[in-house]
Structure 1
């Protein structure tokens, strides 16, 4: 019988508190927000979302990204899941897609894509404008 020797996940509240939001200036309009940023680990993240009542204040992003677990603590899949969970919890978007691209491993490139949408929300015309994965 194997035992799980991983330490418990840290409380996400302090990290999530770094995500500041503002009122959406056009809450009745579906539009796309795209944020891209490099991580100190050499990875990169891209966050795409359709806001509902709130938008993310882009100025808070650097401090938030620094508070994310490092590569020794979380692999790229776990990092994408953390980003997705934090945005869903703090921003409550209509639709969100997270892309984490770790540094190249020799010739190998990798991207992790996670997506979620609010039940009942759909805007095929808007989402069709996104480049295919």
Structure 2
């Protein structure tokens, strides 16, 4: 698990005093899954290239369902990046067009802000 988290590279947040939303949307991960990540950073920003590499590594792991994959991503990003607010969505699309979504959300203890709604 630690080596998986180590794949997530960080850079300093240029404006830690602002609440701003970072979004990575509809990235492929594992078989027939896509992940979207939204977060309000605190001190660090997640490097998008490292996140794509991280997702490629996750694609080599057999996941029982989108819930387990979603919770693993949320746990890894939350612990490595430590954002004020985080939401991870994993969407599984079957060959017959059915979709199953799992959503995980986390906040820092004591953070009382509200999530920013993207346009």
Q: TM-score, normalised by structure 2?
A: 0.88
Matches within 5 A, 1:5-84: 12-36=1-25, 37-68=27-58, 70=60, 72-84=62-74
| Contact in 1 for aligned 2:30/2:59 (Cα 8 Å) | no
Gaps of 5+ in 2: none
2:77 is the counterpart of 1:92: no
**Distance in 2 (alpha carbons) for counterparts of 1:72 and 1:35:** 23
Shift of 1:130: 4.7
Higher relative contact order (CA 8 A, sep 6+): 2
Could you say which residue in structure 2 is the equivalent of 1:7?
none
2:102 is the counterpart of 1:129: no
Shift of 1:40: 4.8
| Contact in 1 for aligned 2:85/2:108 (Cα 8 Å) | yes
Moved over 4 A (4+): none
Higher strand share: 2
SS in structure 1 of the partner of residue 50 of structure 2: helix
How many residue pairs end up in the alignment? 118
Larger Rg: 1
Query: What do you get for the CA RMSD once the two structures are aligned?
Result: 1.9
**Distance in 1 (alpha carbons) for counterparts of 2:64 and 2:3:** 17
| Contact in 2 for aligned 1:41/1:71 (Cα 8 Å) | no
Gaps of 5+ in 1: 1-11
Q: TM-score, normalised by structure 1?
A: 0.80
| Contact in 2 for aligned 1:43/1:102 (Cα 8 Å) | yes
